[in-house]
Amino acid sequence: MRVFGILAILLLIVIGVFLYLRGDTLLMTGDETSSGDVQTTTEKTSSENDAGDSAEADASGTNVAGKPGTPTEGSIVPTIVDKKLDNGTDEAAQKVALARPSFDVVRVDQNCELLAAGRAVPASVVTIFVGDTAAGDITTSSNGEWVFTSKKPLGAGSQSINLRAKNPDGQELESSNLVIMNVPDCRKPLLQREPAIAMLAPKNDTAEGTIPGSVKLLQVPEPQGDVSAAKDLSLGSVNYDNKGTLELSGKGQPGKHVQIYVDNRPVGKADMDADGNWKMQPDESIPAGTHNLRIDQLDDDDKVISRIELPFQKTPAQDVLLAQQDGSLRAVVQPGNSLWRIARRIYGEGMEYTVIYQANQNQIRDPDLIFPGQIFTLPEQN
């Protein structure tokens, strides 16, 4: 009996050790299972994050197959890729704006070859685009300056000139402005050609305090006749958008002033800068229709020293002919009565157009002629 009792005790000990070891194994299995659950959850969370990132990229239209950020086979990629270029109030955006390439000079010569010059980040490579075609590239100097001349004539008609720079840090940026040109047909005799015109226009209006659609003429039509009596005074362009915002600009003698009249009513005054350029936004809205525009150049004593007068027609923007194809930007030039109208649509967000005038002898008026509504300063009596 004693033997059986000892055996029973040993059996219980063996069973206990067995159960103990088995229980330890079960606990390890449970931990591994728990660890596996955590790993699965982590992988799921990572997948959800990846999906979220993908959704955000999809929403922004960047680097997503089939979206504007990534060209797909058979798709048409517009030359201008930035819709909102820079927010001038953001410090980082201001740095980006300074890093963008820019135009200083753009013109075509008598052989219709392009001459362009500007600035960019030093040692960057600037590519010049004529429409959607790369016309060539140039590396900027240590001062950030670049000069480009085309190897063949530009095609006659409307052309758009754009810049894209690859900076030394690998960043690729486009110019914030676009040059719209009218290129004459160089197959015609020189005297039978339309004038060459180059106009610098913003791709969007972001700078605080700027006039929407503000443009600058880089190459203007040559004056017709003897315009010496105008004393360098001229109207270069009238620019306005579909909201009725109007801007007039031209040339004069540096340091002088201009007083603008519409239908003999004063609408604004402007000063010439050091280069003789002036720019003015009228004080009041001018309705659509035909108007008489008069510009007086004044000296420091507000005496009229030269005067030009010409009719101009403010046409609703929606009436201006516009060509737009395949999502890319186009400009239309319509000759007539010694002026040219250039229309453009920027990113499908409304249309702007500019009427470009050619200085001629017939615009000059007698500066001593008194007009109704003209304002004079009377001398003080002693």
Give me the mean pLDDT over the 355-376 stretch: 76
* DSSP classification of residue 190: G
The torsion angle over the Cα atoms of residues 262, 267, 273 and 278, rounded to 10 degrees, is -30
pLDDT of 45 > 60? The answer is: no
- How confident is the model over 53-111, as pLDDT tens digits? 433 333 333 333 333 333 333 322 223 333 344 555 568 878 888 899 999 999 999 99
**Given this model, what pLDDT does residue 311 score?**
86
Mapped to the 3 state alphabet, what secondary structure does 313-366 carry?
EECCHHHCCCCCECCECCCEEEEECCEEEEEEECCCCCEEEEEEECCEHHHEEC
**Given this model, what pLDDT does residue 308 score?**
95
Vertex 216, ends 145 and 119: CA angle to 5°? 10
| Residue listed under structure tokens 């960043």 | 171
pLDDT of 161 > 70? The answer is: yes
* DSSP classification of residue 228: G
Q: Which residues contact 85 (CB under 8 A, 6 or more apart)?
A: 97, 100, 174, 176, 203, 204, 206
- Alpha-carbon separation of residue 255 from 247, 273, 275, 298 (angstroms): 20, 6, 9, 10
pLDDT of 172 > 90? The answer is: yes
- How confident is the model over 230-252, as pLDDT tens digits? 999 999 988 866 566 778 999 99
**Given this model, what pLDDT does residue 344 score?**
66
**Given this model, what pLDDT does residue 231 score?**
95
Q: Are 117 and 104 in contact (CB under 8 A)?
A: yes
Give me the mean pLDDT over the 25-37 stretch: 42
**Could you tell me which residue, 107 or 327, shows the higher pLDDT?**
107
Maximum pairwise Cα distance, the chain? 151
pLDDT above 70 as % of the chain = 61
Q: Are 229 and 306 in contact (CB under 8 A)?
A: yes
- How confident is the model over 198-233, as pLDDT tens digits? 999 888 654 433 455 578 899 988 888 999 999 999
In angstroms, the CA 118 to CA 229 distance is 34
Q: Which residues contact 250 (CB under 8 A, 6 or more apart)?
A: 233, 234, 235, 236, 237, 258, 277, 278, 295
In angstroms, the CA 181 to CA 167 distance is 27
* Residue 259: closest CA among 251, 249, 267, 247: 267
**Given this model, what pLDDT does residue 70 score?**
35
Confidence bin at 17 (pLDDT 50/70/90): low
In angstroms, the CA 277 to CA 320 distance is 27
Tokens of 378: 């009377």
pLDDT above 90 as % of the chain = 36
- How confident is the model over 281-302, as pLDDT tens digits? 887 777 778 889 999 999 999 9
* Residue 258: closest CA among 299, 223, 287: 299
Which strands make up the sheet holding 289-298, listed edge to edge? 265-271, 257-262, 289-298, 304-314, 364-365
**Given this model, what pLDDT does residue 33 score?**
40
Q: What is the mean pLDDT of the chain?
A: 74
**Given this model, what pLDDT does residue 94 score?**
80
Beta bridge partners of residue 49, listed in sequence order: none
pLDDT of 326 > 60? The answer is: no
**Given this model, what pLDDT does residue 88 score?**
52
Label residue 181 exposed, middle or buried (CB < 10 Å: 0-12, 13-18, 19+): buried
Q: Are 297 and 356 in contact (CB under 8 A)?
A: no
Backbone dihedral angles phi then psi of residue 19, each to the nearest 5 degrees: -65, -35
- How confident is the model over 112-127, as pLDDT tens digits? 999 999 999 999 999 9
